[in-house]
Structure 1
Amino acid sequence: MSTQTRSYTLNNMVSIIRQSLNGEQQDYTQGSIPRAVFLLAIPMILELSLESVFAVVDMFFVGKLGENAIATVGLTESVITIVYSVAIGLSTAATAIVARRTGEKNPEAAASAGAQAIVIGFIVAVTLSAIGIFFAPHILAGMGASAAVVRDGAIFTRIMLGGSTAVLFLFLINGVFRGAGDAAMAMKSLWVASIINIILCPIFIHFFGLKGAAIATVIGRSTGVAYQCYHLFRGNGILKFKASLFRLTKETVQSIVKIAWPATLQFIIASGSWIVMARLVAETGGTTASAGYQIAIRNVVFFILPAWGLSNAAATLVGQNLGARQAQRAEQSVLLTARYNAIFMSLVMVLFLFLAKPIIHIFTDDVGVAQYGARSLQIIGSAYIFYGIGMVMTQALNGAGDTRTPTVINFVCFWLFQIPFAYLLAKGLDLKSTGAFIAIPVAESLIALVAWYYFKKGKWKEVKV
């Protein structure tokens, strides 16, 4: 490659990065597909990368409080994933509908769909927060936590679950931004939330102990939502919001619910499976294994979230290109995104396989906890390349509005396969917590293969939104 060619390529990449971060309005239904993927993917990856950093930083400081604190955070996170499931379900619906209307070049209809999704989200969020506030100790106990963990961690769980409204709105409004192609704004709002979290977390933990971590998280996420709302209602973005758009209409509500409930169920199925797996690890390995597993999961999430960001780019491209009646371009966008994700996740897989022990030792000096953590990180990370492919295929189907197919795939692969298989290995073959670890990559690989099959069948191209 000549010096002139290298210079042109570098300048081109710098230009793409600058455009993606500035949030310049783009038409993703025309032009170069690789360029469209990068323009969306760069801010989406960065959006969730800092969230990943926060998750790891949070566990680093919480880890200094002992295994009970680690177990409390892990078990609470397992439960709060149900809140994330609802948030992601509504966000998926908002992205799919807003993207489709944007591709149809109907910005007012896109804004109307986003506004009505926010109204529905508010009703759901208040309900979930109330449940979390009143039933936090019972939720921890139901997860198999010891009496000491329930005693020490109930206040943390109550604050985290009580702050569900902020979590739901953060994901939902970002789904609206992403559907419109404004990935940069979604990135900035989550960065605001995560940076505040990272700053406040060690300070609040120092003064208030474990509950300080929860307070910092809720403050950070609430600030992110305030930032979103400020830009959402200024009226100078891609979508123009006005009061009349927030009136619920039967047609739009039905469309949102039709996409959102399977998407919510889809992620609840996955989250429920993770809750069962966390409980199985605690039952068969005790608090030490549970703490090691939770540290490993935080590291798994650290690298999955950027890959999830890349997958979200596929969802937006599918929705907008189907709206523009360009199904072939939508398919090509997904295949290219899957290739990029597979390359990234294969690099992470190598990292986990060979550097698991030093990674886990960053978070704990406890020999027993570190041993379980390294083992689970190696085993779970062994199929990372399949995670990357499966995420893109699933998000592509969701972006097309076909949320039912991934829901069925999740139910079969998680509940009819992963959980029975994990119990067989952990208890039937007496592999204990290691058996639970093994079941995770096997099930995730199966999901990737099945999702790929249904994507290639192409029925998602015919879905009406």
Structure 2
Amino acid sequence: MPDTATAPLRPAMNLPDATAAARVARTHRLLNGPIGPTLARLAAPNVLAMFVTSVTSIAEAYFAGRMGVNALAGLALVFPLMMLTQMLAAGAMGGAISAAVARALGGGDTARASGLTLAAWIIGVVAAAGSAVLMALFGRAVFTALGGDAAAVAAALSYAGVFFPGCIALWLCHASLSVIRGTGNMAMPSLLLFVVSLGSIPVSGALALGWGPFPAWGMAGLAAGLIVSNGAAGLVAMAMLLAGRMGLSMDGALSRLRGEMFRDILRVGVIASVNSAQSVLTIVLMVALVGRFGTAALAGYGLGARLEFLMIPVVFGIGAAMTSMVGANIGAGNTARALRVAWTGAIAAAVIVGGIGALVAVFPDLWLRIFLDASDTATLEVGRAYFRTVAPFYAFFGLGLALFFASQGAARMMWPVMASLFRMAVAFGVALLLIQVTDLGVRGVFIGVASGMLVYGVVTAAAVWITRWR
């Protein structure tokens, strides 16, 4: 592996000197810039974009709340699967794409980076088609098995019937943005996500609730807003890559495409996808247990789980920068610097997410009353119990998730995936035990969720500390 300071940074073929030089300068900063300031500068636009993305999710739940408790319960049923799609596209496969591109550029191979771009688009198309087929075949059975009544299942199916056939827009958008991040450019993906998020709020509201001349499509309208906005951003990102605006030449990329490029992405992406699937499966199992306690409990937990999921884009804002910095330094052979990047970002993520958790643990109604009226007493009580039990452990979730993103850049995913498996086993096992042998009721489920977060953070951090990615 080439040394950090001497790694060849060859400009891309057939590109203007200024464009190629800008890409080379970005890679140089990943390899040699001061860690704290460089990570902060790269993460800042991501964090802003992810904050606005979180606002989009809040708006979606708000619009569902205006349609009633059954709509909120239906959203709670479909939300884990919708989030899984976004986690796979932006986090698991997206992180693997960014890391692969960053490693190629860290080693000075721009031709390989352009071939990886084409491979990323193909992977996105195949993944989107597969998820659409699976939802069409098994969606109703899944939502029914999660404990939703007829009205909640109908609401979930209405949302899923638009989101999953249209999720090719989301996959291609995030694949393209991930390539751009891999070049060290965090500003452009963040700007596009910022615009996507701001645009999807009025579009989703208009199509769901029938504002002005728009039809009131209900739950289907919420999904349509996401698909339209992501599709527009995806077209812009793909056009910029094809035009060489990001310092990669796509001329002849098809002829440079090789099977090992798919393997380079998938060997990290598939394992990371298992981690994402386990995270969502943990939530799904908890939904199934909470569903035993009725629709109000399901709606209350759904609001709590939604904020938990929103911690993922918060950490992703930092994690995306970590993935690129770690990947470039691993590609240049500087593992020690890559580890310093990982711990710097992980501690920052734990502090930020832990602070949010502490706030909602003390003042849960700051979140819950956005969606619920004072008359929704049963749902409010469940939501309050969730936050008072689980939110104090958000810091461990943030720590583990940030180190997960860093491990993507290092292509060392075994222990983060094992930690996620331990989290799922502990969360479900403790929750099931407590609701069977105690009278804690739904609070027993929440104790299980908190226990799983603690295990996830501790195991992931211990693994990175001990193995040092050897």
Are 2:321 and 1:321 equivalent residues in the alignment? Answer: no
What is the letter of the counterpart of residue 57 of structure 2? A
Establish whether residue 233 from structure 1 lines up as the match of residue 234 from structure 2.
no
Kept in 1: contact 2:114–2:250 (CA 8 A): yes
- Conserved 8 A contact 2:26-2:183: no
Aligned pair 1:362/2:370, yes or no? Answer: yes
Against the structure 1 CA distance between its residues 249 and 78, is the aligned structure 2 distance closer, same or farther, given a 3 Å change threshold?
same
Which piece of structure 1 moves more, 232-241 or 417-426?
232-241
1:256 and 2:265 matched: yes
CA apart distance, 1:459: 4.5
User: For 1:242-391, what aligned pairs fall within 5 Å after superposition?
Assistant: 242-245=251-254, 248-283=257-292, 285-365=293-373, 366-391=376-401
- 1:122 CA displacement: 1.1
Q: In the alignment, which residue of structure 2 is the partner of 1:57? A: 59
Aligned with residue 451 of structure 2, among 432, 442, 450:
442
Measured at CA, do residues 121 and 357 of structure 1 come closer, stay the same or move farther in structure 2, by a change above 3 Å? Answer: same
Does residue 169 of the first structure (1) align with residue 191 of the second (2)? no
In the superposition, relative to structure 1, how do residues 31 and 358 fare at CA in structure 2: closer, same or farther (>3 Å)? Answer: closer
Report if aligned partners of 1:170, 1:190 keep a CA contact under 8 Å in 2.
no
Alignment of 1:88-127 (within 5 A): 88-127=91-130
Pick the aligned partner of 1:159 from 142, 158, 162.
162
Instruction: Show the counterpart of 1:223.
Output: 232
Question: Partner residue of 1:399?
Answer: 409
Question: Within 2, Cα distance between the matches of 1:77 and 1:301?
Answer: 9
Cα displacement (A) at 1:304? 4.1
> What is the rounded CA distance, in whole Å, between the counterparts of 2:344 and 2:369 in structure 1?
36
Counting aligned pairs with the same residue, the percent is 23
Indicate the residue corresponding to 2:213 in structure 1: none
Give the gaps of 5 or more residues in structure 1: 1-21
Q: Which residue of 1 aligns with 2:26?
A: 25
Change (3 A) 1:34 1:64: same
Q: 1:112 to 1:244 in 2, by over 3 A?
A: closer
Amino acid at match of 2:428: I
When structure 1 is superposed on structure 2, of 327-336 and 234-243 the one drifting more is 234-243
Shift of 1:387: 1.7
Tell me which amino acid in the other structure corresponds to 1:110: A
1:181 offset after TM fit, Å? 1.2
Return the offset for 1:299: 2.6
Equivalent residue, structure 2, for 1:413: 423
Question: What is the TM-score normalised by the length of structure 2?
Answer: 0.88
Asked whether the 8 Å contact 1:136–1:158 carries over to 2, the reply is: no
The match for 2:17 is none
1:286-321 residue CA offsets vs partner (Å, 9 max, x unmatched): 110111111122233334422221122222211111
Deviation of residue 93 (structure 1)? 1.9
Aligned partner of 1:17 in structure 2 is none
Aligned-partner residue type, residue 450 of structure 1: V
Q: How far is 1:378 from its partner?
A: 2.4
Amino acid paired to 1:267: S
The answer to whether the Cα contact below 8 Å between 1:273 and 1:419 also exists between their aligned partners in 2 is yes
Bigger Cα displacement from structure 2, 239-248 vs 125-134: 239-248
Change (3 A) 1:259 1:303: closer
2:87, 2:50 → 1: CA distance?
A: 16
Using the alignment, how far apart are the partners of 1:251 and 1:304 within structure 2?
30
| Amino acid in the other structure paired with 1:159 | V
- Deviation sequence 1:216-247 (CA, Å, 0-9, x none): 12212212212221222121213332353476
Is this contact kept in 1: 2:422–2:455, CA < 8 A?
Answer: no
Measured after TM superposition, the shift of residue 349 of structure 1 is 2.4
Aligned length: 438
Partner of 2:37: 35
Q: 1:241 aligns to what SS in structure 2?
A: coil
Alpha-carbon distance change, 152 to 451 in structure 1, aligned in 2, over 3 angstroms: closer
CA displacement 1:74-127 (0-9 Å, x = unmatched): 111112334235423321221221111121122221221122122122122122
What is the root-mean-square deviation of aligned Cα atoms in Å? 2.1
> How high is the TM-score relative to the length of structure 1?
0.89
Kept in 2, the 8 Å contact 1:99–1:179? The answer is: yes
Deviates more, 1:298-307 or 1:351-360: 298-307
Letter in 2 for 1:312: A
Instruction: Give, in whole Å, the separation in 1 of the partners of 2:253 and 2:283.
Output: 41
* Paired residue secondary structure (1:189): helix
Alignment of 1:186-205 (within 5 A): 186-205=189-208
Q: In 1, distance between residues paired with 2:382 and 2:325?
A: 40
How far, CA to CA, are the matches of 1:198 and 1:85 in structure 2? 20
Distance apart, 1:357 and its partner CA: 2.0
After TM superposition, the structure 1 stretch with the greater mean CA deviation from structure 2, 84-93 or 229-238, is 84-93
User: Residues 248 and 240 of structure 1: is their aligned pair in 2 closer, same or farther, counting only changes over 3 Å?
Assistant: closer
